[in-house]
Amino acid sequence: MRFFRVVLGMCLLALVVVPAAFAIRFTDESFSPPTGQTGKPFPTWSFTGAGGCGPALPYQYRLLQSSAPPGLTIDQSGLVHGTPTQEGEFGFWLELSDENPPSAAWCRPETAQRFFTIKIVRGLNITYRASSLPAGAVNAAYNFQLTTDNPGASLVWSVLTGALPSGLNIDSTTGAISGTPTALGDWTFKIQAKDTSGLRSDVQTYTLSIVQPLQISSPKTKVGEVGLPFQLGPTANGGKPGYTWSIAAGSTLPAGLALDANSGAISGTPTAPGKAAVKLTVTDTVGLKSSVDLSLTVVPRLLLAKTTLRAAKAGAQYSALVPKSGGARPFKWKLSGGPRGLKIGSGGLLTGTPTKAGTYRLHVQVADALGGTSSRTYVLKVAA
């Protein structure tokens, strides 16, 4: 009889204790969410429960007349995810419940409600997000300043993995990458910016190419002539091919000329005389640029003018100028059909002593340095 009473008492005690021991509740870990940063994905983290019908049956979570921190979502599974958009401490009520309706007959759903806060601090992000840093040239000074979107923060910069090109270093305080590269190649590395509190950091992976200096080989002055084909073919050396050519804003080629962006050739047939100052730029595949200032001059078309030559006298010294315009020096002159003793020299000057009277048809031709030519026939009377 006494044994029966003991067993009965234990059973009654179990009926009282077991429900209390297994009441649904949030775990202690739920009250210590990680600190989030604006602009950065929230760390992988979830609210967790204990007691009730779990963990055999899944717990369910829902917000009660409140909302998660801006940019974050709390799933039914308790997972917190998203990217915070505002800094501050954000509080909310969250309900934990058993699976309801339950998928097992033995489960009697319960709920628990608690108030939680999640702290969001201003994020730390390296502002340069491109995968490649501006390229550098071997044996030439290099400097590139990395910054974050949190100016004034006390930071420590470092190379987390990989290595900077030989000859370059990063300033651990300012984030400046500088030095003089000593070897060619492509380097890939991870840069970390971390605040001195240790709470915030950001990592970016970059590739930095070190190449030969990029240079343009081209005559800096060039003369063209109206109506004659023009060709200027600059070449690029160094950098990383292929190259793209362009004319700087504000520069204009002479009328009739155009630039080939692939080859850099300036060609065409000039249509008007004049002078043009042109800045020609070449860009390689890693973004290096080199420029050269060109002075392009287009002269008028070479032309012999109409004129009436004054009469000459046989046996007497004679001189007369054949008028010319346009063209590019030097000039070459030719004379045919004139009297014996007469010749044409540089500048188109007819000189000599005609030896025989008569009327002569002088055929004059002039050629310039660009291949332009002009010819005309003049009448010269030689008196006895």
Mean pLDDT on 187-200: 91
Q: Are strands 142-145 and 176-179 parallel, antiparallel or unpaired?
A: antiparallel
The superfamily in CATH containing domain 218-299 is: Immunoglobulins (2.60.40.10)
Domain positions in the chain = 2-121, 136-213, 218-299, 303-383
Environment class of 6 (CB within 10 Å of its CB; exposed 0-12, middle 13-18, buried 19+): exposed
| CATH architecture of the region 303-383 | Sandwich (2.60)
Mean residue pLDDT of the chain comes to: 92
Mean pLDDT lowest for which of 53-67, 195-209, 348-362?
195-209
Q: Is the pLDDT of residue 4 over 50?
A: no
What pLDDT does 160 receive?
A: 96
What pLDDT does 141 receive?
A: 96
Return the closest-CA partner of residue 363 out of 344, 335, 343: 335
pLDDT digits (tens, 9 = 90+) for 20-58: 348 999 999 999 999 999 988 999 999 999 999 999 999
Percentage of the chain beyond pLDDT 90 is 85
Task: Compute CA 85 distance to the chain's CA centroid, rounded to the nearest angstrom.
Answer: 29
The tokens for 244 are 């793209």
What pLDDT does 200 receive?
A: 87
Which amino acid would we find at residue 290? S
3-state secondary structure of 89: strand
Q: Is the pLDDT of residue 292 over 80?
A: yes
Helix intervals (H) in the chain: 2-21
What pLDDT does 291 receive?
A: 95
What pLDDT does 8 receive?
A: 42
What pLDDT does 152 receive?
A: 80
Q: Is the pLDDT of residue 353 over 90?
A: yes
pLDDT digits (tens, 9 = 90+) for 142-176: 999 999 988 888 999 999 999 999 999 999 999 99
What is the DSSP code string of 253-315? PPTTEEE-TTT--EEE---S-EEEEEEEEEE-TTS-EEEEEEEEEEEPPPEEPP--PPPEETT
pLDDT digits (tens, 9 = 90+) for 112-122: 999 999 999 98
Tell me the fold of 136-213: Immunoglobulin-like (2.60.40)
Q: How far apart are CA 97 and CA 78, in angstroms?
A: 11
The tokens for 336 are 């045919």
What pLDDT does 13 receive?
A: 41
What are the Cα distances from residue 361, in Å, to 245, 324, 348? 53, 18, 16
The tokens for 299 are 């002269």
Q: Where are the beta strands (DSSP E) in 337-372?
A: 342-344, 349-352, 358-367
**2-121 has which CATH code?**
2.60.40.10
The tokens for 297 are 């001059």
pLDDT band at 7 (very low <50, low <70, confident <90, very high): very low
Nearest 5°: CA angle at 187, between 186 and 192?
150
What pLDDT does 39 receive?
A: 86
What pLDDT does 11 receive?
A: 42
Q: Is the pLDDT of residue 374 over 90?
A: yes
Return the closest-CA partner of residue 291 out of 300, 303, 299, 279: 279
Q: How far apart are CA 66 and CA 242, in angstroms?
A: 58
Q: Are 87 and 102 in contact (CB under 8 A)?
A: no
Find where tokens 């963990």 sit. Answer: 55
Phi, then psi, of 106 in degrees rounded to 5: -80, -10
Mean pLDDT on 215-219: 92
Q: Where are the beta strands (DSSP E) in 55-184?
A: 60-63, 72-74, 79-82, 88-97, 111-121, 136-137, 142-145, 155-162, 168-170, 176-179
What pLDDT does 14 receive?
A: 40
What pLDDT does 123 receive?
A: 87
pLDDT digits (tens, 9 = 90+) for 221-262: 899 999 999 999 999 999 999 999 999 998 999 999 999 999
What pLDDT does 151 receive?
A: 82
Nearest 5°: CA angle at 34, between 33 and 39?
125
Mean pLDDT on 370-379: 97
Mean pLDDT on 278-292: 94
Q: Are 154 and 195 in contact (CB under 8 A)?
A: yes
- Fold match between domain 218-299 and domain 303-383: yes
